[in-house]
Amino acid sequence: AQSVTQLDSHVSVSEGTPVLLRCNYSSSYSPSLFWYVQHPNKGLQLLLKYTSAATLVKGINGFEAEFKKSETSFHLTKPSAHMSDAAEYFCVVSDSGSSNTGKLIFGQGTTLQVKP
């Protein structure tokens, strides 16, 4: 069965410093992996996705993630944090090999705080 573990429930950085949000996954099949962001009282917005193409994935708002199969990781990074990045971030795995639907499994979420 597939699962996702976000290693930090809360990350605090200063504006202009790098961001690292960690995610490890477990999947029996070739996974599709996603990062979604959720601002307070808002819906979930896709930041980026990995679907077995390039292992370094670029997303919106300057975010990137690298798929490392040997480490079963898909960490999210950004070189320089902005105040508007403060939000909840979810790492999501979809078991694309098991069915057409590929149910989405969410990690526990990481709250990113950006200090001025």
Partner 1 sequence: AAGVIQSPRHLIKEKRETATLKCYPIPRHDTVYWYQQGPGQDPQFLISFYEKMQSDKGSIPDRFSAQQFSDYHSELNMSSLELGDSALYFCASREGGVEAFFGQGTRLTVV
Should residue 74 be labelled a site residue for partner 1 when binding is judged by CB under 8 A?
A: no
Size of residue set near partner 1 by CB under 8 A: 24
Query: DSSP 3-state assignment of 42?
Result: coil
Pairwise CA distance, residues 56 & 58, whole Å: 7
DSSP 8-state symbol, 72: T
Q: How many CB atoms lie within 10 A of CB 26?
A: 13
Of these, 25, 96, 112, 114, which contacts partner 1 (CB under 8 A)? 96
Which residues 30-59 are close enough to bind partner 1 by CB under 8 A?
32, 34, 36, 42-46, 49, 51
Closest CB 28 distance from partner 1, rounded Å: 16
Helix or strand run (H / E) with residue 70: none
Provide the binding-site residues for partner 1, judged by CB under 8 A.
32, 34, 36, 42-46, 49, 51, 90, 94, 96, 99-109
